[in-house]
Copies of this chain bind each other. A is one copy, B any other.
């Protein structure tokens, strides 16, 4: 018994399908839909798992956003990945026993825990799904690489533009973008932690982006007013997302 109605799983199944290189069979969709998901909700800034944990389960994001982060000893924080509905942020715990990162909700977030054993059973029954999850972690790796390039070699203006481009596409993949606008409840402090700059500087760059007519970000909602200018400023090239097809 899953405890979560099927509609809530929708982003999850949709995401898996968007990663797979083939069309999921009915049996595979059903197996995914029947996977026992144990629900939990978290408030903004609450940790879901923390470094050095040895989890016996993974979780899928159902609504909201999570941030995978690490900190230096003196408390400086670096977000190394965001995860949106449909993603499984800590899939590596299936093969790497102790976590080398923490994951926090950055906004009110609902997740569904899946026992490692349940996943192993799923992959035994449906080996192709195992390949899809493998592929998913490899795509996460590709995102990491792009973030390294972005944070290491681009100024803060294109850097922030790039992050917004990526998030828009990823949210669009799971149907969370309408009219170039989406829920994105990231504080400026959060953004700074992802981009490797301070919240003060985030504020200034955000002002430039706003004044340039590229985007608006307020009340937890991001709207892109000029996608072509934004993606050009970001030097955005979506190949690193390894999409099956280009989104609308």
Known contacts A137-B141, A148-B144, A153-B72; A242 and B78 CB within 8 A of each other: no
Is there contact, CB below 8 Å, between B78 and A139?
no
Is there contact, CB below 8 Å, between B72 and A235?
yes
Copies in the complex: 2
Q: Which residues from B are CB-within-8-Å of A100?
A: 142, 145-146, 239-240, 242
User: How far does the alpha carbon of A130 sit from the alpha carbon of B95 in the complex, in Å?
Assistant: 12
User: How far does the alpha carbon of A144 sit from the alpha carbon of B153 in the complex, in Å?
Assistant: 16
Is there contact, CB below 8 Å, between B95 and A138?
yes
Q: A118 at interface (Cβ–Cβ under 8 A)?
A: no
Q: A204 at interface (Cβ–Cβ under 8 A)?
A: no
By CB atoms of chain B within 10 A, which of A70, A139, A140, A148 has the most?
A148
Q: Which residues from B are CB-within-8-Å of A78?
A: 148-149, 152-153
Q: A113 at interface (Cβ–Cβ under 8 A)?
A: no
Is there contact, CB below 8 Å, between A196 and B152?
yes
